Chain A
Amino acid sequence: MEYGKNISVQNAKLWYGDFQALKGIDMEISEHSVTAFIGPSGCGKSTFLKCFNRMNDLVNGCKIEGNFKIGEVDIYDKATDVNELRKNVGMVFQKPNPFPMSVYDNIAYGPRTFGIKKRKQLDEIVENSLRAAAMWEELKDRLSKSALGLSGGQQQRLCIARALAVKPKIILMDEPTSALDPISTGKIEELCEELKSTTTIVIVTHNMQQATRISDKTGFFLMGELVEYGDTDDIFNAPKRTETERYITGRFG
């Protein structure tokens, strides 16, 4: 069974204790696409995103049902190695979270975990990852400096570079630009467009314009349900469901 770049979900249900956060979601995400999840706070979009690399496993009292496949791999199968899953499905969070170590060590951390020790090989990975995140030129002379000294936007892109270092097939982004200025936001959006050729990207965003700019497909979530899922152009031009229209035009509530 091999990890692929496509995601297939049937009848996803999730409970936090007694509270049902996802109520039977079906979704197919094709490879090399950018998919945006939108919806009001508490609608289940981040919860659903975190199912794809089993981040919800870390939450006490969380129960998950349904069928989740990344490529051929049933990711909730007992035989699935979670570390291997997270190597293939990287994640970038709302708040940049570089490790308190050098730029170099941040990027090399993942590959080292997976057994790569040779300096030359690590050098190559660090350079390629920073190049893929369009940061090589600005950081090549600061590799030994602490990552915590970078700006917020640089830290976030470093986190993307760190995720890329283990060559993931899919990258999950949970509101990756909500704490960033417009210039850093623009750089991350450009990056999404570039990374599409090698990975599949799923992004949670509260920024409607961002969803229209960068995503191919958009899913609108409301109270644990996927209300509408389709081409981004259609969703933002002529949504089929009234709830979607009301939310994206700010009439919701």
Chain B
Amino acid sequence: MSIRKIFEAELADLKTELVEMCRLTETMIENSIEALVKRDRELGKSVGEMDKRVDEYEMDIEKRCMRILLKQQPVAKDFREVSTALKMITDIERFGDQASDIGDLVYTMPGERYIKELHYIRKMGDLAVKMVHDSVNSFVQNDEALADAVIAADDIMDELFLTVKNELILLIKQDVKNGDQAIELMMVAKYLERIGDHAVNVAEWTKYYETGVHLKF
């Protein structure tokens, strides 16, 4: 195999591992929301345990990138590909952290009845999973339009967060006893909103990979 082919195989392996890491965080987000909705404490706890695997992926991909930089000294799009992967894993790792935080909250939350329907939080969860999925796919599939769609979706995420926040404020005003749970649900919403922000970061890195220009949206 030529040196160039070996290098291309290394890049392909790198992307495969990035996708695996990303899929794991998607499952974590899905499970954390399912645990919340079903009040499944054990499922919530299991999300935190999955986070260890995400950390391992991060370390492993980081090593891969360092090894490629050292051995191949890539330039131009090759360089952007490796540096993009290196930057992305920080955000993907944060997807896992936020899902894990939601799982921990579910595990420690008292088993009272919810003070509100979880309709919008579930919508936020679904959107978070889609943004995470699309952000990494935009990189792997060289799809700048998909990266743009992720960046645009963040506005919807922000609106949903505002809706949930306003609902919870209203519930606290109605009855101070709602306060404890309202704050916990507010934290869940905030974690999901942050996942959206990290997905935007990943999409921005995809755009850098495609264009060579790193812009913040």
Taking beta carbons and an 8 Å cutoff, which residues of A are in contact with B?
A: 208-209, 212, 234, 236-239, 244-245, 248-251
Contacts and interface: CB of A to CB of B under 8 A. Distances in A.
Contact of B80 (A234, A238, A244, A248): A238
13 contacts: A208-B75, A209-B73, A236-B76, A238-B76, A238-B77, A238-B212, A238-B213, A239-B76, A244-B76, A248-B75, A249-B74, A249-B76, A250-B3
B69 to A, nearest CB: 12
Q: Chain B: interface secondary structure? A: helix
Max chain A C-beta neighbours (<10 A), residue from B7, B76, B213: B76
A248 B3 contact: no
Given A250-B3, A250-B4, A251-B4, A236 B212 contact: no
Contacts of A212: 75
B78 interface: yes
B76 A248 contact: yes
Contacts of A239: 76
Contacts of B212: 234, 237-238
Interface string B204-215: 000000011100
A236 B213 CA distance: 13
A237 B79 contact: yes
Contacts of A249: 74-78
Interface in B67-103: 73-80
Given A237-B75, A245-B76, 13 more contacts: A208-B75, A209-B73, A212-B75, A234-B212, A237-B80, A238-B213, A244-B76, A245-B77, A248-B75, A249-B75, A249-B76, A250-B4, A250-B7
A234 B79 CA distance: 12
B211 to A, nearest CB: 7
Contacts of A236: 75-76, 79
Nearest to A239: B76
Nearest to A212: B75
Contacts of B78: 249
Nearest to B8: A251
A245 B74 CA distance: 11
Nearest to B7: A250
Contacts of B73: 208-209
A250 B73 CA distance: 11
B111 to A, nearest CB: 55
A251 B7 CA distance: 11
Contacts of A245: 76-77
Contacts of B76: 236-239, 244-245, 248-249
7 nearest A-B residue pairs (beta carbon): A238-B212, A236-B75, A249-B78, A248-B75, A250-B4, A245-B76, A237-B212
A113 to B, nearest CB: 42
B211 A238 contact: yes
Nearest to B72: A250
Nearest to B212: A238
Contacts of B211: 238
A200 to B, nearest CB: 25
Contacts of B3: 250
A245 B78 CA distance: 9
Contacts of A244: 76
Contacts of A209: 73
Interface string B114-148: 00000000000000000000000000000000000
A245 B3 CA distance: 17
A188 B208 CA distance: 34
B83 to A, nearest CB: 10
Nearest to B73: A209
A209 B70 CA distance: 12
A239 B4 CA distance: 19
Contacts of B80: 237-238
B9 to A, nearest CB: 14
Nearest to B77: A245
